[in-house]
Structure 1
Amino acid sequence: MALASCAPGDDRPFNATEEARRAADAAQQTATSETDAIATEAEVDAWTKGAMVAAADPRAVEAGLEMLRQGGSAIDAAIAVHAVLGLVEPQSSGIGGGAFMVYYDRDADEITVFDGREVAPASTTPNHFMKGGKPLGFLEAWQSGKAVGVPGQIALYKTSHEAAGKLDWATLFQPAIKLAEDGFEVSPRLAGLLANPRLRGAVRLDDLPASADYFYPNGEPLPVGFIRTNPDYAATLSAIAESGPSAFYEGEIAQAIVDAVNSDANPGAMNLEDLADYSVKIRPALCGDRADGYRICSAPPPSSGGVTQNMIMGLYDLLEPTEEADMTEENYLKAFIDAQRLAYADRDHYVADSDFVTVPATDLINPAYLRVRAKEAFAPDATTHPGDPGLALGRDPVRPLWGEDATEHGPGTTHISIVDADGNAVSMTATVEAAFGSSIMVKGFMLNNELTDFSRQPAKGTKPVANAPGPKKRPRSSMSPTLVFDPAGDLFMVTGSPGGNSIVAYVSKTLVGVLEWGKSAQEAIDLPNIIARGDTVGVEIDRPGGMEAADALRELGYNVEEREGENSGLHVIIVREDGLEGGADPRREGIAKALE
């Protein structure tokens, strides 16, 4: 009713004629009616569902809620959440990495993707990971200065804040700064990773001086409950809060990054110009419309989200049983598995940085292509291969353009889902690639090893690989920050997960669980993870229903790999009739919490 209070008052001149008075009265009634209509429309359209933050640590969630309490936007909250996660969850993400953020502006009814993916230095060549004519071994490449990409996270903070932030820039960093100065309690997950002998054997945290001093004081891993201060991180964030991204991409911090990368035992070739030249890409979301009217929107290449989530859901609709006699749990599960195998095969072949190679993203989610591709569903014991959207859509073939690629993606990632008090939403997946990234610690934060998301082998036979390294190129990502809209066009769901290559399967599980199987947010998250990339189907057997699914798929002829300790970190918000419903993955330490 705020607009109604602005209706014109009775300020007619006292000597007006009766006719003029009647005309003025009529005009006033018309204006009042129109204003009341606008007010009524505004009331109907007002967001009444509340606000919520879902992320991987309660302290980070609280930082986001505090921004919302102060009147901040979803983007303000996301920045505050992530700055805290970089401190308390350094194994997963941080300001030395990058992210994809999908942002929905409810008033404008617009979706924007902020691509803060790490970038290869300008000196990078396709042979970046080749040595003596052969690709470097995975561990040798993975834990090295050569693997470090130019971080995009701080630039993403600033670009998104300029677009839709409401609070003062410096305010966003205060929770993380305070926690770094006062100290945070080491969580069971962080302590468990630091003590894990297998992880310690794979990474260099206890070999490199900065990370060893921080994570292994006196040679011992930080125990649960230890109060760990990080004054270097507090100083870094304070400089960024005061001076903006220039404090990170220029000057002392930038020099420290370059020195650490280039002095590594297996050095990279990053320079100050590479850091100063970094910029966020603002891209349109890649959206697909389902037959039931729901719309799925995620990040376009180099993210896999928009392609894979729409492919899997479209293929599932075509593959699910339609005859009553076939409508068994096993056959619904089979449809999900077959959709994944088809989508993963296409993703692995075609998706790369679309600023450098042609990615047929819209063709891959075209319903006409999906109808053809569904007929190519692999037999359970068959080897997977990519389809050809060019041929399927009556054009020249595109599959032969590229050599086939099986790049691995590490699991050092986190996901944040937020809906603010105005109904705007953020789905942001952020990463340092592997657990603790490259193990290189600078100024209180970990540097990524994101460049190993490129194919280490730049060609297959005589054909280049689409996701080969290149100067200023962004490596392909499995990250799939996703928004779903209902048939009326209103926000329905915010979802996403960490987990390396398995992210594609994890996120699609929530979409199938909610949209097809009628699950709640938490029920969908709690379903056992099933990952069908390539010729093996990984089934999480240490969750309820997992062993039964493994047995059923094995009976159907699939090559089943029983898995435990899955690395998903799903955070989901669903807009229901009576408000927001949240869910957080019990496999990590996150929560979903509504604003009071």
Structure 2
Amino acid sequence: MNRFAARCRLSSAVLALCAGLSLPVASMAQTVTAAPPAQPLVRYDIGDSIFTPVWAGRGMVSSEHRLATQVGVDILKKGGNAVDAAVAVGFALAVVLPNAGNIGGGGFMVVHDAASGKDVAIDFREMAPAKAGRDMYLDGQGKVVAERSLYTHLAVGIPGTVAGLAHAQAKYGKLTLADVIAPAIRLAEEGFEVSPQLAGLLEVEKDHLAKWDATRAIFFKGDQPLRAGDMLVNKDLAESLKQIAANGPKAFYEGTIATRIAEEMGRHGGLITTDDLKAYKVVEREPVAGSYRGYTVKSMPPPSSGGTHIIQMLNVLERFPLKDMGSDSARTIHVMAETMKLAYADRSEYLGDPDFTKVPVKGLTSRGYAEELAKKIDPEKATPASGIKPGKPQPYESDQTTHFSVADDQGNVVATTYTLNLNFGSGIVAAGTGILLNNEMDDFSAKPGVPNAFGLVGGDANAIQPYKRPLSSMSPTIVLKDGKPWLITGSPGGSRIITTTMETIIDHIDFGMNPAESAASPRVHHQWTPDELRVEKGLSPDTVTLLQQMGHKVVVKPTMGRTQTIQVLPTGLYGYSDPRNPDGATAGY
């Protein structure tokens, strides 16, 4: 089976394409509203493309829900720039994608400002409350208490989304905050139809959600979660959004909303107080930067581990002729897996909040360190994880998440990834607010050497401290060619975000794929521990056999990542929403 035939197994829509059938655009969760071009366009080498991306001439939005995508496109049409559209999408997803979109969580945004040529990373990651401590999830015997960091009020970090989106809007947008929140208010107040995808998630998570009266009031009908076709109306969230639209982020961090969140915490043993909410700060950081085969890669720095390790891995992989080795070949997957193991071993040791611990970013992303790591890779044999320890970069010093990408006609682009952590976060809605609260405290290292919900192991660099930001894998990324945006991408997926984003970059640069082809490709992942090479179904059995002969423990597990990618070419904008999420959509004008 060749790699294109393998891709045809990924979804019914993709299968139909491979079979040469004609499907309506909407059935593929892709939409476009583009005016006819004034002259014939030379598109993406259509004769060579297996899957065709969405095209637009002026602006484009790619997100995990069609309603949020349309909100973004409408903002662009009204004269907003990419930041205006991104902020509008962020608030809209808090309504229509409640399992991941949020104003009760946090995340990261990378912005390319065309006028100045400046790239900026906006950190609105959650923070630990003042009363948090490194042993707060341990029992009297020093053992981690199951689910205390996931489904209790102690799991909630101080939310950063409202502060982050408002900061981006005020500093880099053109419209008002009220302008970009208005569509989300309408969606929350009038409601929207629950999709089969959302209904399935509600069913899976019903036991966690049913524990809390305020959560049941929104997401349940009687004693059962909402089903496909039901209307999801959230009047309390609409009112919270109205307060933010009228009074800015202070409404969330110092007003009635803050009081209600603190009261929710107080009733159930949570730690967040009104003082904690008032103390929250957004941080602008310099994006971590690297180069790969002549392209410039800009991504999120710590407390995200994503950008650092994407560049670290690309530095190593640049030493291998991936194009000649072939996409999805055993040789390519082998060197990628070995590189992933080395990077995730370093992640366990060195990554954390840079305001609390020294993170050797320069060493980890240096070419000299990559040269040392590349020498450790046996091209014919897998190295057991037990034989890999964190390296020494210092001498070189000198799931549920969602991602959306936006590009406008002025050359501004935005990559944003934000999260509640697991599906629906803690499952707790702060009574009277309609706001689902995160369980991001699980992203700290509850105890050195003990895996979190994604199987990731951490150490002292990521230990819990008051007002510290937990380590993240979120990796909103912009790739530039000759100083101008060429690719905007990112993905949800917990620990798999980093490898999914890296593979997307490699697909485009090394293998010449377009956003649709890359999104449909089978993905692989290795995170050092557990010592297994995780792959999606669709990989050739012959390739799997060769990898096993090299010593890899290959396991087929559920799909990884849901990329939202836009590529900027002279002939226009080309984008695609990952077919792994049937609710996602890319649209433009």
Shorter-chain TM-score range: 0.7 to 0.9
Aligned amino acid, residue 303 of structure 1: S
1:347 match: 347
1:34 match: none
Kindly tell me: are residues 210 and 550 of structure 1, through their superposed partners in 2, closer, same or farther at Cα, counting changes over 3 Å?
farther
Aligned amino acid, residue 453 of structure 1: D
Query: Percent identity at matched positions?
Result: 35
In 2, the alpha carbon distance for the partners of 1:183 and 1:492 equals 36
1:314 match: 315
Contact 1:186/1:228 (CA < 8 Å) preserved in 2? Answer: yes
Tell me how far 1:458 sits from its aligned partner.
4.9
In 1, the alpha carbon distance for the partners of 2:588 and 2:578 equals 19
2:507 is equivalent to residue 513 of structure 1: yes
In 1, the alpha carbon distance for the partners of 2:133 and 2:568 equals 46
Contact 2:516/2:576 (CA < 8 Å) preserved in 1? Answer: yes
Aligned partner of residue 150 in structure 1, secondary structure: coil
Residues 53-72 of structure 1 correspond to what in structure 2 (within 5 A)?
Answer: 53-72=61-80
1:491 match: 485
In 1, the alpha carbon distance for the partners of 2:438 and 2:328 equals 44
1:246 match: 250
Residues 82-481 of structure 1 correspond to what in structure 2 (within 5 A)?
Answer: 82-196=90-204, 199-201=205-207, 204-264=208-268, 267-290=269-292, 292-320=293-321, 329-377=329-377, 379-383=381-385, 384-391=388-395, 393=396, 411-442=399-430, 443-458=433-448, 465-481=460-476
In 2, the alpha carbon distance for the partners of 1:505 and 1:539 equals 12
1:19 match: none
Q: Identify the structure with bigger relative contact order (alpha carbons < 8 Å, sequence gap 6+).
A: 2
Kindly tell me: are residues 231 and 531 of structure 1, through their superposed partners in 2, closer, same or farther at Cα, counting changes over 3 Å?
same
Q: Deviations over 1:64-120 (max 9, x none)?
A: 011101110111111111111111111113000001000000110000111000000
Aligned amino acid, residue 509 of structure 1: E
1:559 aligns with one of 553, 563, 573: 553
Q: Which moved more, 1:572-581 or 1:132-141?
A: 132-141
Aligned amino acid, residue 391 of structure 2: G
In 1, the alpha carbon distance for the partners of 2:326 and 2:126 equals 46
In 2, the alpha carbon distance for the partners of 1:242 and 1:161 equals 14
Aligned partner of residue 131 in structure 1, secondary structure: coil
Contact 2:90/2:165 (CA < 8 Å) preserved in 1? Answer: no
2:527 is equivalent to residue 538 of structure 1: no
2:575 aligns with one of 576, 579, 582: 582
Who wins on radius of gyration, i.e. which is larger? 1
1:400 match: none
TM-score normalised according to structure 1 size: 0.83
In 2, the alpha carbon distance for the partners of 1:334 and 1:520 equals 23
In 1, the alpha carbon distance for the partners of 2:587 and 2:578 equals 16
Q: Deviations over 1:299-324 (max 9, x none)?
A: 100011221111121111124469x7
Tell me how far 1:556 sits from its aligned partner.
2.1
In 1, the alpha carbon distance for the partners of 2:322 and 2:248 equals 54
Contact 2:137/2:148 (CA < 8 Å) preserved in 1? Answer: no
Contact 2:500/2:560 (CA < 8 Å) preserved in 1? Answer: no
Tell me how far 1:545 sits from its aligned partner.
3.0
Aligned partner of residue 176 in structure 1, secondary structure: helix
In 1, the alpha carbon distance for the partners of 2:117 and 2:359 equals 27
Kindly tell me: are residues 298 and 138 of structure 1, through their superposed partners in 2, closer, same or farther at Cα, counting changes over 3 Å?
farther
Aligned amino acid, residue 553 of structure 1: L
Tell me how far 1:259 sits from its aligned partner.
1.8
In 2, the alpha carbon distance for the partners of 1:312 and 1:568 equals 18
In 2, the alpha carbon distance for the partners of 1:283 and 1:341 equals 27
Kindly tell me: are residues 546 and 130 of structure 1, through their superposed partners in 2, closer, same or farther at Cα, counting changes over 3 Å?
farther
In 2, the alpha carbon distance for the partners of 1:299 and 1:381 equals 29
Kindly tell me: are residues 326 and 274 of structure 1, through their superposed partners in 2, closer, same or farther at Cα, counting changes over 3 Å?
closer
Contact 1:537/1:558 (CA < 8 Å) preserved in 2? Answer: yes
Aligned partner of residue 575 in structure 1, secondary structure: strand
Structure 1, unpaired ranges of 5+? 1-47, 396-410
Aligned partner of residue 538 in structure 1, secondary structure: strand
1:527 match: 521
Kindly tell me: are residues 469 and 190 of structure 1, through their superposed partners in 2, closer, same or farther at Cα, counting changes over 3 Å?
same
In 1, the alpha carbon distance for the partners of 2:126 and 2:575 equals 30
Q: Deviations over 1:144-174 (max 9, x none)?
A: 1111010000000111111111012101111
Aligned amino acid, residue 455 of structure 1: S
Contact 2:148/2:154 (CA < 8 Å) preserved in 1? Answer: no
Tell me how far 1:548 sits from its aligned partner.
5.1
Tell me how far 1:256 sits from its aligned partner.
1.2
Alignment size in residue pairs: 519
In 1, the alpha carbon distance for the partners of 2:325 and 2:361 equals 36
Aligned partner of residue 462 in structure 2, secondary structure: coil
Aligned amino acid, residue 299 of structure 1: M
- Cα RMSD (Å) of the superposition? 2.1
Q: Deviations over 1:112-139 (max 9, x none)?
A: 1110000001222222222214243342
In 2, the alpha carbon distance for the partners of 1:251 and 1:317 equals 51
Contact 2:349/2:459 (CA < 8 Å) preserved in 1? Answer: no
Tell me how far 1:376 sits from its aligned partner.
2.0
Kindly tell me: are residues 549 and 64 of structure 1, through their superposed partners in 2, closer, same or farther at Cα, counting changes over 3 Å?
farther
In 2, the alpha carbon distance for the partners of 1:205 and 1:355 equals 34
Contact 1:540/1:546 (CA < 8 Å) preserved in 2? Answer: no
1:502 aligns with one of 492, 496, 501: 496
Aligned amino acid, residue 418 of structure 2: A
Residues 70-85 of structure 1 correspond to what in structure 2 (within 5 A)?
Answer: 70-85=78-93
Aligned partner of residue 118 in structure 1, secondary structure: coil
Contact 1:180/1:229 (CA < 8 Å) preserved in 2? Answer: yes
Contact 1:415/1:571 (CA < 8 Å) preserved in 2? Answer: yes
In 2, the alpha carbon distance for the partners of 1:74 and 1:135 equals 47
Q: Deviations over 1:446-480 (max 9, x none)?
A: 100101100001589xx961100001100000000
Structure 2, unpaired ranges of 5+? 1-55, 451-457
Kindly tell me: are residues 106 and 135 of structure 1, through their superposed partners in 2, closer, same or farther at Cα, counting changes over 3 Å?
farther
Kindly tell me: are residues 549 and 533 of structure 1, through their superposed partners in 2, closer, same or farther at Cα, counting changes over 3 Å?
farther
Aligned partner of residue 148 in structure 2, secondary structure: helix
Aligned partner of residue 479 in structure 2, secondary structure: strand
Kindly tell me: are residues 494 and 258 of structure 1, through their superposed partners in 2, closer, same or farther at Cα, counting changes over 3 Å?
same
Contact 2:218/2:233 (CA < 8 Å) preserved in 1? Answer: no
Kindly tell me: are residues 68 and 567 of structure 1, through their superposed partners in 2, closer, same or farther at Cα, counting changes over 3 Å?
same
